[in-house]
């Protein structure tokens, strides 16, 4: 059963998966992490959050979408104590990315590790167009 997908591929793993996949009005994004254009991780949780949302915005823009299209977020963090201690910085960075109060559901869990050892947060989003 063939379906009509729109894909956005980017980065070193572009042959393995897409950063975003749209079918109809739903857009799934790959989990985005806090690295800069050279792949260097942000120095702390707040910096990584800012970088992750910059990546999310870049993916959304490829589909003509913006932060207002996000409906659901999952935060995979590697240290809940650090996350709770940085919660003001993290949520300020997030509010700046959204340009106000996010209109999304959210789930936060601590995992053991992300795809690089220096990563502290990965944000997986679903958007609706």
Which single residue is written with the structure tokens 């956005």? 8
Q: Does 93 help bind a second copy (rule: CB under 8 A)?
A: no
Residue 99 found at the interface with a second copy (CB under 8 A): no
Q: Which helix (H) or strand (E) holds 128?
A: strand 121-128
* Closest CB to a second copy among residues 36, 91: 91
* By the rule CB under 8 A, 92 interacts with a second copy: no
Cα-Cα end-to-end distance for the chain = 23
Q: Are strands 32-33 and 26-29 parallel, antiparallel or unpaired?
A: unpaired
Q: Tell me, what DSSP letter sits at residue 42?
A: P
Residues 6+ apart with CB under 8 A from 66: 57, 60
The span of 34-42, 47-55, 107-115 binding a second copy (CB under 8 A) equals: 107-115
Task: Find the binder of a second copy among 29, 52, 56, 93 (CB under 8 A).
Answer: 29
Binding site for a second copy (CB under 8 A): 1-3, 5, 7, 15-21, 23-26, 28-31, 64-66, 68-69, 71-74, 76, 80, 84, 91, 101-115, 122, 124, 126, 128-129
């Amino acid at each position: 059963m063939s379906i009509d997908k729109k894909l956005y591929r980017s980065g070193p793993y572009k042959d393995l998966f897409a950063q975003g996949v749209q079918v109809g009005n739903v857009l799934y994004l790959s989990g985005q992490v806090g690295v800069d254009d050279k792949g260097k991780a942000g120095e702390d949780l707040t910096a990584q959050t800012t970088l992750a949302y910059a990546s999310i915005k870049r993916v959304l823009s490829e589909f003509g979408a913006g932060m207002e299209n996000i409906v659901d977020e999952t935060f995979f963090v590697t240290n809940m104590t650090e996350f709770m201690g940085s919660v003001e910085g993290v949520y300020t960075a997030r509010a700046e990315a959204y340009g106000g109060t996010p209109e999304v559901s959210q789930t936060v869990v601590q995992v053991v590790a992300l795809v690089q050892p220096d990563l502290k947060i990965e944000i997986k989003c679903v958007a609706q167009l």
